[in-house]
A and B are shown apart, each in its own frame.
Chain A
Amino acid sequence: MNAVRSTLAAAAALAAVFGLSACGEKPQTAHTPKTDTRPFEGPATAYTAPGWTPGNEASWASELQMRTQGQNEYVRIGQQPTVQR
């Protein structure tokens, strides 16, 4: 009987430890605003778009310009738009 009781008590204590572990807060310290790294500075990852070299601002800007123009149908279909007057 005592063994069962002590097992139950141990299980309850373990459950309490695990259950309350989520109640803690991450440590917070006072900060001043940090300086951000520029987007073209990289580093390269598996998801880096092909077509530019991390660290090279000009190639990054040209890659983004290419993607921006990808939103323009007239560039994608290779036709000059006919403007209505």
Chain B
Amino acid sequence: MARMKFICDAERCIECNGCATACKAEHDVPWGVNRRRVVTMNDGVPGERSISVACMHCSDAPCMAVCPVDCFYRTDEGLVLHDKDVCIGCGYCSYACPFGAPQYPSNGAWGLRGKMDKCTFCAGGPEPNFSAAELEKYGRNRLAEGKLPLCAEVCSTKALLAGDGDEIADIFRTRVLVRGKGSEVWGWGTAYGKPAAGSGGEARKEGTKS
């Protein structure tokens, strides 16, 4: 088993927030924390794109590098996880992460404090698999059930891919080769196929009603 990764296909994401909702519900994520969220650029204008963002389980993770108590660890599957019993809530990781993955609960007497929380790739934490402590601190452990992260499995357009990095890269690469790029990606040709020569399809493509 190689490294587990996420890839989000910005051409396919329809900003339904199904991934974020599924994550929140599956792991009973604390108030104020969104382990996964959907970011939209150029909202409402042509060229709008959305992308689902969470921990990318970096190969050279800056959160691991800056943690003063070394609470992060990397699993054999390439996942960057953390130990909440060791975390001191200093917040360095949240400043170091380019994706805003490590977050802090916003409730409690001290405001933005407490143990850091982040995406676990649905792999729980260092507690024994399926233990009550693991469920309470990190949420469900789907990977130990032989399942992929729920955010990817519920994605209706399969914009969000999860799994072995090499395999999902191949899936994504094939998609890109098939759909092409630029104006071929979306529009008339994608929806109805390319018009045959001499069929008058070019006129319809221009927007003329038939």
Contact = CB atoms under 8 A, between A and B. Distances in A.
Contacts of A74: 174
B14 interface: no
A36 B73 contact: yes
B147 interface: yes
B92 interface: no
Given A72-B171, A81-B177, A48 B129 contact: no
A73 B144 CA distance: 25
Interface string B160-175: 0111100110010010
A27 to B, nearest CB: 11
Residue in A42, A43, A47 with the greatest tally of chain B CB atoms within 10 Å: A47
Contacts of A36: 73, 75, 81, 125-126
Interface in A23-50: 28-29, 31-43, 45, 47-49
Contact of B83 (A34, A43, A48): A34
A23 to B, nearest CB: 10
Contact of B178 (A35, A41, A52, A83): A83
A28 B115 CA distance: 12
A61 B146 CA distance: 8
For the residues of A in contact with B, the DSSP-based class is: loop
B65 interface: no
Contacts of A28: 85
Interface residues of A, number: 38
A67 interface: yes
Interface in B113-127: 123, 125-127
A84 B129 contact: no
B202 interface: no
Given A35-B126, A36-B73, A37-B129, A49 B167 contact: no
22 contacts: A34-B126, A35-B126, A36-B73, A36-B81, A36-B126, A39-B123, A39-B141, A42-B144, A45-B130, A49-B146, A64-B143, A64-B163, A64-B164, A65-B163, A67-B148, A67-B153, A68-B167, A68-B168, A69-B167, A71-B158, A81-B174, A84-B184
Given A31-B85, A32-B86, A68-B164, 10 more contacts: A36-B73, A36-B81, A39-B141, A47-B145, A49-B145, A60-B146, A68-B161, A69-B171, A71-B158, A72-B171
Interface of B: 1, 70-71, 73, 75-77, 81, 83, 85-86, 123, 125-130, 141, 143-148, 152-153, 158, 161-164, 167-168, 171, 174, 177-180, 184
Interface of A: 28-29, 31-43, 45, 47-49, 51-52, 57, 60-61, 63-65, 67-69, 71-74, 81-84
